[in-house]
Amino acid sequence: MGSVRFVVAFGAALGCQTGAAQSSSADAAAPPYRVECGSDAAGCPVDLAIYIGWRVFQAQCATCHAADARGSSFAPDLTERMHGMEQREFFAALDKGYLGPRSTMPPRGRDPGVAPYYDELWAYLVARREGVLPD
């Protein structure tokens, strides 16, 4: 698993704001992230939401789901698990946790290292699921 490299671009160039994963009803169909990858770029500038989501994921989730979210022998590949998943379902899974036949995930709704960052985790994992982030 290669390390994921991110170039964080702040400010008006990407139009990012704190809490950038939040969207209005006017752009409900728009992706919850912004990534700008060019063929000649050494990295891909991402919005603040993805960067925060990546940091939280690495600190809280990567131990089980792997650094690239593609899973391990005891935790699922989230890029596959999240296909067709709605944001509210994702948030519910984080709140309730998961108790399955082969793996468990504790509820994260009261975890101060996770609970404040649901939107950012969603943005990061949707971008990872859709393949717009480099490996």
10 pLDDT tier (thresholds 50, 70, 90): very low
How would you class 21 by CB atoms within 10 Å of its CB: exposed for 0-12, middle for 13-18, buried for 19 or more?
buried
Q: pLDDT grade, residue 18 (50/70/90)?
A: very low
Amino acid 135: pLDDT: 74
Residue 8 phi, psi (nearest 5): -95, 125
Q: How many CB atoms lie within 10 A of CB 55?
A: 14
CATH number of 7-129: 1.10.760.10
Domain ranges of the chain: 7-129
Predicted TM-score (pTM) of the model is: 0.72
Listing DSSP states for 38-107 in one string gives -TT-SS-EE-HHHHHHHHHHHHHTHHHH-TTS---SSS--HHHHTTT--HHHHHHHHHH-EE-SS-EE--
Q: What confidence tens digit (pLDDT) does each residue in 21-65 have?
A: 444 444 556 777 777 766 655 677 889 999 999 999 999 999 999
- pLDDT of 61-110, one tens digit each? 999 999 999 999 889 999 999 999 999 999 999 999 988 887 789 999 99
24 CB burial (10 A radius; 0-12, 13-18, 19+): exposed
Buried/exposed 76-89: b ≥16 CB within 10 Å, e otherwise: bebbebbeebeeee
Asked if the model's pLDDT at residue 2 lies above 60, the reply is no
